[in-house]
Amino acid sequence: MRLRLLLETVAHTLQSLYLQGCRMEDSQLTVLTPALSRCSWFTKVNLCDNDFSVPILMELLLHTANWSKMNKSSNPHLWRSALTAASGVDEYGATLLYPYHHKIHGPFMMSLQTLPTLLKQARQALLRNEELAISAVEQLPMELFTAVFQDAFKGRHTRMVKAMVAAWPFPCLPVGTLMKTSNLETFQAVLEGVDMQLARNFHPRRNKMKVLDLRKLRHDFWTIWTGREDGDCSLESGDEEQVVKVLPRYAVRRRLKVIADLCLRRGLDEEEAYFLQWALERKGSLQLCCAKMKIWDMPLSNVKEILSVFQPWPVEELELTEFDLYTLTWFATYLGHMGSLRKLSMTDLYENTIGPGNRTAKSEMDCVRKFMSQFSRLHCLQHLSLKGVFFLRNQVKKLLRCLRSPLESFSISGYFMSESDMNSISRCEHLCELKHLAMRGVGLLAADSMPLQNLLETVAHTLQSLDLQGCGMEDSPLTDLIPALSRCTQLNKVNLSDNKFSVPILKDLLLHTANWSKMNAEQYPAPVECYDDFGFIDTERFLQLCPELMDALRAQRQPKSIIFATKPCSQCGMRCVYDLGPRLCPCWQ
């Protein structure tokens, strides 16, 4: 205590400190560390020949950021004994880490610039002997805990991973971020560590974990607690749009919360199957939450069993694929409880499994109404995608009436849209602030152009992307749409490919795009003049007309990424494309 007071008194003047051979131990250095961290004028420190453990020494080193004037420092002799016991470090490692070595006469002097390397080697040394490492888990400094865990996880030290999960000292463990590649043994070790925690009424030191996050997303937690400079652990996932923030205090619940993304299908991989079985067996001890759920081609009995343990309200993204009407009707109630749902995608929903004795047009329509009525409970819904949904024809109006919040994106494709459906879409108050509109292959004929024109005029101030690929449009509908399209000043992506437009109409469109200053990517069909009477591509015409269209556009603005593409070749299935230059399909090369 007296030494600490002295150090605090002289912290603004002290330049060198020699405490070699003072028989100090961990508790004494722990007391001195705060005072030492404030000695910002240090140029030399010698703490050799004292009895400090690896965790306490690491904690001291992590508090030396203010020692900017330091030239040299010596490490206590216990670095050698402790780390040698941990791993039997070779002679090269010893000359780096220890004050005395048979090749060095006098104490080893370490530049503070080697601190990241020193800490990395110390972590590696600990992990070479799992017995010693596991015994030291309780003494690891908080600042070092996450770095050691990442090393253990990456190196597949399963026993160490299990012990560290059981002793996790933070409210949240976002381990999914580290699971770049599947490894069943390491994943099992994580869940076994959770089991160890569940089996205890208390932990002897600091067990605080309340949330286990298995989502494979970037997480701020690791950046905050490691602050690594050695480039040793890149934690970014492939999903660049999603970053998880450190969970606030109000997210903590009494039971351990496990957050995962679910993909329910036939043929689960080993890791997915193991987790689902583990979750089913512990449903009474855990709060199981799913943020992103995908369901397709899985027996209804299995789906029911799994959904019985995962709460519906935390689901934010849902994908339903290949559902029949019976399954969809059963799922309706579960959907209605997804109060946090922001994104819903439905693909290939069909109608053929109500039993022959019970199947009537009225019973089918009752099922459809029951399902659509649940949309009125989805107050957070922002993104809706409908592809190949059998019951939509002439029912779009009823579906849109059930919406309770403005949509940011709306995608509908896979069937021929009626004029009534188009009118309903153009008049829906919940589509007036769309940022993304996709209507692929919906068969927009000339008679249908006015509703789409009205919709584009309504969303002209917000629309950022437009996809009308394969809608069967010809010159007349596009001519009607050009005035509305020219006012869509926020557009950054447009796709009009696989439609039938002539050169004059395409030029007219391009000449009205001067306001598209934010445009990043645009796709157009090769004009109909590029095909012969039998529908085959005329390469000479293609190579002549596409540059003309490009020149017309460049007279208005400079495109960043643009493509004129033919329909797929009947022989090879590839397209002829003109972007910066021509790229013909293999049949013409």
Calculate what percentage of the chain has a pLDDT beyond 90: 46
Residue 578 lies in a domain: yes
**159 and 307 assigned to the same domain:** yes
Residues 395 and 463 grouped into a single domain: no
Residues 462 and 361 in one domain: no
Q: Does residue 400 sit in the same domain as residue 505?
A: no
pLDDT for the residue 339: 94
CATH number of the domain at 537, please. 3.80.10.10
Return the higher-pLDDT residue of 231 and 396. Answer: 396
Nearest-Å Rg of the Cα atoms of the chain is 33
The answer on 116 and 154 residing in a single domain is no
Distance CA 264, CA 272 (A): 9
Are 479 and 358 part of one and the same domain?
A: no
Q: Among the ranges 4-8, 96-100, 142-146, 234-238, which has the highest mean pLDDT value?
A: 4-8
Residue 115 has what pLDDT? 53
Does residue 299 or residue 523 have the better pLDDT? 523
- Range in 157-161, 234-238, 306-310, 461-465 the model is least confident about: 234-238
Q: Domain boundary residue among 386, 405, 424? A: 405
268 or 229: which leads in pLDDT:
268
Q: Which of the pair, 366 or 411, is modelled with greater confidence?
A: 411
Cα atoms in the 13 Å half-sphere on the side-chain side of 414: 15
Q: Which of 60-64, 324-328, 453-457, 536-540 has the lowest mean pLDDT?
A: 60-64
Q: Is residue 398 in a domain?
A: yes
Q: Lowest-confidence range among 172-176, 391-395, 524-528, 531-535?
A: 391-395
According to the model, what pLDDT value does residue 231 have?
A: 34
Instruction: Mark which of 295, 311, 327 sits at the end of a domain.
Output: 311
Considering only residues 278 and 199, tell me which one the structure prediction assigns the higher pLDDT.
278
Residue 102 has pLDDT above 90, yes or no: no
Report the predicted TM-score, pTM, of the whole model to 2 decimal places: 0.77
Domain-ending residue, one of 100, 128, 156: 128
Q: Are 411 and 354 in a shared domain?
A: no
Query: Does 322 lie in the same domain as 283?
Result: no
Range(s) of the domain holding residue 512: 407-589
The answer to whether residue 134 sits within a structural domain is: no
Residue 529 has pLDDT above 90, yes or no: yes
Structural domain contains residue 298: yes
Helix axes 361-373, 325-336, angle to 10 degrees: 30
Split at pLDDT 50, 70, 90, the class of 206 is low
Task: Give the lowest-confidence range in 216-220, 255-259, 299-303.
Answer: 216-220
Mean pLDDT of 359-387: 89
pLDDT band for 273, please (50, 70, 90 cuts): very high
Q: Where are the beta strands (DSSP E) in 492-572?
A: 493-495, 521-525, 562-565
| One domain for residues 273 and 395 | no
Q: How many domains does the chain have?
A: 4
Calculate mean pLDDT across residues 446-469: 91
Greater model confidence, 30 or 53: 30
pLDDT digits (tens, 9 = 90+) for 108-167: 444 444 555 666 777 777 788 778 778 878 777 777 788 889 889 999 999 999 999 999
120 shares a domain with 149: no
Average pLDDT, the chain: 82
What distances in angstroms separate CA 23 from CA 32, 72, 472, one per listed residue? 14, 22, 87
Got the DSSP string for 309-354? TSBSTT--EEEEES-BHHHHHHHHHHHHT-TT--EEEEEEEB---S
Contacts of 32 (CB under 8 A, 6+ apart): 3, 4, 7
Asked if residue 133 is part of any domain, the answer here is no
pLDDT at 352: 62
Percentage of the chain exceeding pLDDT 70: 82
Of 194, 125, 124, which Cα lies nearest the Cα of 165? 194
Closest CA to 175 of 259, 238, 294: 259
Same domain assignment for residues 100 and 216: no
The verdict on 381 and 481 lying in the same domain is no
Tell whether 381 is covered by a domain: yes
pLDDT the model gives residue 117: 61
Distance in angstroms (rounded) separating the CA atoms of residues 341 and 318: 7
Distance in angstroms (rounded) separating the CA atoms of residues 66 and 85: 31
What is the average per-residue pLDDT within 451-471? 96
| Rounded distance between C-alpha atoms, residue 430 and residue 434, angstroms | 8
Please work out, in degrees rounded to the nearest 5, the angle formed at the alpha carbon of residue 21 by the alpha carbons of 16 and 26: 90
E strand spans, 1-42: 16-18
pLDDT grade for 220, boundaries at 50, 70 and 90:
confident
Tokens standing for 404? 């309770």
Nearest Cα neighbor of 168 from 150, 180, 184 is 150
What's the confidence (pLDDT) of residue 307? 92
